Amino acid sequence: MKIHEYQAQALLKEYGVPVLGGELATRPTEAAEAAAKIGFPAVLKAQVHAGGRGKAGGVRVVKTPAEAIAAAQAILGLTIKGLPVRRVFVTAAASIRSEVYLSLLIDRAISRMVYIACSAGGVEIEETAKTAPEKILRLELPPSRNGRTAADCAPFAERLFPGEPGLAAKAAEIMASLYRLFRARDCSLVEINPLAVTQASALVALDAKILLDDNALFRQPGNEALRDPDSEDPGELEARTAGLSFIGLNGDIGCMVNGAGLAMATLDTIKHLGGEPANFLDVGGSSSPQKITSAFRIILRNPRVKVIFINIFGGITRCDDVARGMLAAAQECNPDGSGKVPVVIRLVGTNEEAGRELLAGQNLTVARTLEEGALKAVELAQQVISH
Ligand code: GDP
Ligand code: MN
């Protein structure tokens, strides 16, 4: 789960990382008032779930109330990476000597937590990682139940600030704070970029990005409270409300499957046959017709979807329920009956005959096995122009 910068800053502060703090505004006059309170120069920052705001014009330094109004108007009119800016964070302007990158994340490839740091931080960090990868420092942590103290972090911090023991000591404290925050709040990423070195040789986190582990939300009510429904993928939001697990992917074959394991196998089979799934969607056991209708609606929200592959292995899930849901969905999602998005279905198991009978006469491609169905879906996706 993504959270906003202002929320991430508040978490950093709670765990002892120096931040400047600030106020949130939704209107230009509000932003100007906040800036006046904080003092000029101030910085206005777009709050959206996306990076690269600086380059998109979403971070502006202002020196007067008039400038604050103009900048807030401009930022509130922006759409950054497809996300409309609804709020600005107003913060003090630091006088920056240099910008450092520092993060703690989970490297799934090695199943370890890893610190990543670079003395050349800021908005060009991606470029630096490509052109000068030797500048990126990594510290892989062995699995451990113990915390990490600033003393543990000191050798790495000294590599980040060679010959500057004062800054290295502060960086080591911040690294230890990141670790405590990461573990206490079930993060999967805590990133500070830039961690600014100020003219007064202090370290301050000017930007923060935190990802919270969705699978740990059940034990983190405080994390759940940070959710911004306005900023979430509408499909994923509707899916959560409907009790479906849905994850958007980049392909064009919409998938509706019962059971997470079968859904994974379905995606793998599609990929194996040269296709690209548009989503993971597990309608779960005991699928009511309403769930199937919601699933259709969620899949069809995505304009890239060229074909839908339904793979149901009926156990607790009854094939006739799925069929009824599909009939309702066909009416709701394709009211003109044009059947714009072809559907391939494999429906086997409990009440299979009843399900097939209900669907007889519908414009569907019926498959008997997972592989046959996946192959038909891949072929159709290659023929169809997107709806
Ligand atoms: P991002 O582009 O979405 O990562 O947004 P950031 O919050 O990292 O801001 C982008 C850049 O704006 C930073 O790298 C800084 O150079 C600059 N910036 C951000 N906050 C301040 C500030 O308080 N003072 C000054 N002078 N520059 C800032
Ligand atoms: Mn940044």
The active-site residue out of 6, 67, 99, 101 is 101
Query: Would the pLDDT of 386 be above 60?
Result: no
Distance in Å, CA 249 to ligand 2 centroid: 25
Question: What pLDDT, on a 0 to 100 scale, did the predictor assign at position 291?
Answer: 86
C-alpha pair distances (Å), 359 with each of 8, 272, 321, 346, 370: 50, 29, 11, 12, 19
C-alpha pair distances (Å), 193 with each of 49, 96, 110, 208, 252: 15, 13, 24, 6, 35
257-280: per-residue pLDDT in tens?
A: 999 999 999 999 999 999 999 999
Question: What pLDDT, on a 0 to 100 scale, did the predictor assign at position 364?
Answer: 87
Closest CA to 195 of 184, 204, 182: 204
Query: Would the pLDDT of 55 be above 90?
Result: yes
Residue of 59, 88, 97, 127 with the most ligand 1 atoms within 8 Å of its CB, for mutation: 59
CA–CA separation, 87 and 230 (whole Å): 11
Mean pLDDT across 292-321: 90
CA–CA separation, 237 and 246 (whole Å): 9
Reply yes or no on whether 15 is catalytic: no
Q: What is the residue with the minimal CA distance to atom 14 of ligand 1? A: 122
CA–CA separation, 174 and 169 (whole Å): 9
Q: Quick one: which atom of ligand 1 is closest to the CA of 122? A: 14
What is the 8-class DSSP label of residue 19? B
**Phi and psi torsions of 385, nearest 5°:** -90, 140
Q: Quick one: which atom of ligand 1 is closest to the CA of 46? A: 3
CA–CA separation, 230 and 160 (whole Å): 38
Q: Is the preceding omega at residue 194 within 30 degrees of 0, hence cis? A: yes
Which ligand minimizes its atom distance to the CA of 49?
1
Could you write out the DSSP letters of every residue in 225-256?
Answer: TT--GGGS-HHHHHHHHHT-EEEE-SSSEEEE
Reply yes or no on whether 33 is catalytic: no
Residue of 91, 101, 118, 123 with the most ligand 1 atoms within 8 Å of its CB, for mutation: 123
Question: What pLDDT, on a 0 to 100 scale, did the predictor assign at position 28?
Answer: 97
Distance in Å, CA 61 to ligand 2 centroid: 15
The pair of three-digit structure tokens given for residue 15, joined into one six-digit string: 């765990």
Domains, the chain, with CATH or none: 21-92 (3.30.1490.20), 96-224 (3.30.470.20), 233-386 (3.40.50.261)
Instruction: Assign residue 369 a region (left: φ > 0; alpha: ψ between -120 and 50; beta: otherwise).
Output: beta
183-242: per-residue pLDDT in tens?
A: 999 999 999 999 999 999 999 999 999 999 989 999 999 999 999 988 887 788 888 888
The sheet with strand 59-62 has its strands ordered as 22-25, 88-92, 42-46, 59-62
Ligand 1 binding residues, C-beta < 6 A: 43, 45, 51-54, 59, 61, 91, 93-94, 96, 99, 122-123, 193-194, 206-207
Enumerate residues 6+ apart whose C-beta is below 8 A from 13: 19, 21
Q: Give residue 338's pLDDT band: very low, low, confident or very high (50, 70, 90).
A: low
Is 358 in contact with 320 (CB distance < 8 Å)?
A: yes
| Mean of per-residue pLDDT scores for the chain | 93
Q: Quick one: which atom of ligand 1 is closest to the CA of 193? A: 8
